[in-house]
Amino acid sequence: MAANQRYVHIVGWGMEVPERRLTNADLERMVETSDEWITTRTGIKERRIAREGETTATLALGAARKALQKAGVSPADLDLIIVASATPEHAFPATACLVQDALGADRAGAFDLSAACSGFLYGLCLASQAIRTGAIETALVIGSETLSRIVDWKDRNTCVLFGDGAGAVVLTARPEPGGVLACTMRADGSGGPLLELPAGGSRYPTSLETLAHNMHTIKMKGREIFRFAVRVMADAARHVVEEAGLTMDEVALLIPHQANRRIIEAAANRLKLPMERVYLNLDRYGNTSSASIPIALTEAVEEGRLRPGDHVVMVAFGAGLTWAGVLVQWAELLPVAPPTPRRRLRERTQSLVARIRSSWRRTRRYVWGLVRRLRGEPPLS
Ligand code: ACO
């Protein structure tokens, strides 16, 4: 494929959310709030909460498997896996590496991306740029969060807003025109203190004191974030529309970060975009940070809100402060046939082989470590 014929298309999409729902009525029993306040101030009615054992990596893996299946792409074909998350499984190893191992994506590089709620769009921009240059062919970009693990469940200002979930897309180079047409990634670190998780990093390592001061939970200045969000979501949308040589009238659907219905309405108002052309699902999931756009994209496609040729704009803002926009000309390139029994068997076998290989590598490392210790070898020899 010649370099000037490469287009980057979204060929697979998928989402995974925990089954457990936390409704506004449930929250009324936990903090001093009301369904009426939450609904009118945010538009949120319920959110999903991970149960024990459900983590950022397990949700990411569930979404990734569905996106790969939709795309008809095997994990062995992936060159790159990016997991955007504000709640990674660990500081390290990267959640993306856990996903890579579980999928058995043996040829893929994998890393986590920290840009809070803008992380998925940052990942989409970076992966599509790498594909367009010809450096790689196929990438998996995931947004996954378990925000319920860093929310202060006693703080009514924040605990009503957030939820857990994951969404993923598969991107690949194709000769058909369309796909990712424009991207923007921006930041303003001076606004960092407006939305932060103060402790657990090198500035305030976990200690009895940080725990006593409840510094491992989200701290947010809601009103300032609100004003910033309205401005940058509209700016980012205008930027990508202009870069693609289009006008807002040619945008079939805006998929904004699902933080607050009023923020979205104000941004749409600035863009003079009627709400019928704005996708909303925050009533059911709340703010799932980096997962909100891939979850919304998946639902929008499944509901038939996007047709081949449509221009869709995705915009996000988040901690950092960060913001981002991506414009895609939608194309459903692969007639998605249900997997044949033969393909299903091949995929199950690949997954089993990946699990066995991963266990074998872990066991081999353990045994070699034991042998070295028995031989009295120094650990770094
Ligand atoms: N129930 C009842 N009352 C509440 C609640 C609640 N859950 N939360 C706050 N209040 C009270 C406040 O205490 C305040 O009372 P006061 O006037 O006596 O002090 C009053 O309601 C109004 O507070 P405001 O801050 O003016 O409420 P506002 O209309 O701005 O809505 C909200 C607050 C929903 C937080 C809004 O500012 C917002 O959505 N901001 C953006 C937040 C956001 O999107 N954050 C995510 C960023 S993305 C990321 O990176 C994670």
CB of 195 shorter than 6 A to ligand 1: yes
Q: Is the peptide bond before 93 cis (omega within 30 degrees of 0)?
A: yes
Question: What is the rounded distance in angstroms from the CA atom of residue 327 to the CA atom of residue 251?
Answer: 9
Q: Is 159 in the pocket of ligand 1 (CB under 6 A)?
A: no
Cα-to-centroid distance, 221 and ligand 1 (Å):
8
Helix (H, G, I), strand (E, B) or coil at 7: strand
Structure tokens at 33: 């709030």
Tell me, yes or no, if 257 is annotated catalytic. yes
What sign does the dihedral 66-67-70-76 (CA atoms) show?
negative
Coil, helix or strand for 100?
A: helix
pLDDT digit string, tens, across residues 253-295? 999 999 999 999 999 999 999 999 999 999 999 999 999 999 9
Query: Phi/psi of residue 372, each to 5°?
Result: -60, -40
117 noted as active-site residue: yes
C-alpha distances out from residue 36 to 45, 151, 157, 375, Å:
10, 21, 15, 69
Burial of 89 (C-beta count, 10 Å sphere; 0-12/13-18/19+): buried
Q: From the CB of 41, is ligand 1 less than 6 Å away?
A: yes
DSSP letter string over 280-348? --HHHH-B-GGGHHHHHHHHHHHTT---TT-EEEEEEEETTTEEEEEEEE----S--PPPPHHHHHHHH
pTM as predicted: 0.93
Which residue's alpha carbon is at the smallest distance from atom 36 of ligand 1?
A: 222
Ligand 1 atom with minimal separation from the 263 CA: 39
Active site residue 97: no
Return the CATH number of 7-329, one of 3.40.47.10, 3.20.20.70, 3.30.530.20, 3.40.1380.10: 3.40.47.10
Which atom from ligand 1 is nearest to the alpha carbon of 289? 51
Rg (CA), the chain: 21
Task: Determine the atom of ligand 1 nearest the C-alpha atom of 218.
Answer: 51
Q: What is the DSSP letter of 84?
A: E
Among 24, 125, 287, 311, the active-site one is: 287
Ligand 1 center to residue 222 CA distance, Å? 5
Residue 80 bridge partners (DSSP): 109, 139
Atom 35 in ligand 1: residue holding the nearest Cα: 222
Q: 224 CA distance to ligand 1 centroid (A)?
A: 10
What is the residue-level pLDDT of the chain in tens, covering all 381 positions?
Answer: 444 689 999 999 999 999 999 999 999 999 999 999 999 999 999 999 999 999 999 999 999 999 999 999 999 999 999 999 999 999 999 999 999 999 999 999 999 999 999 999 999 999 999 999 999 999 999 999 999 999 999 999 999 999 999 999 999 999 999 999 999 999 999 999 999 999 999 999 999 999 999 999 999 999 999 999 999 999 999 999 999 999 999 999 999 999 999 999 999 999 999 999 999 999 999 999 999 999 999 999 999 999 999 999 999 999 999 999 999 999 976 645 566 788 778 877 877 888 888 888 889 888 988 888 888 887 664
Q: In the chain, what are the helix, strand and coil shares in percent, each to the nearest 5?
A: 45, 20, 35
Cα 223 to averaged position of ligand 1 atoms, centre (Å): 7
Q: What's the residue count for the chain?
A: 381
* pLDDT tens-place string over residues 133-165: 999 999 999 999 999 999 999 999 999 999 999
Residue pair 165/295 in contact by the 8 Å Cβ criterion: yes
* Span from the CA of 378 to the centroid of ligand 1 (angstroms): 56
Structural domain boundaries of the chain? 7-329
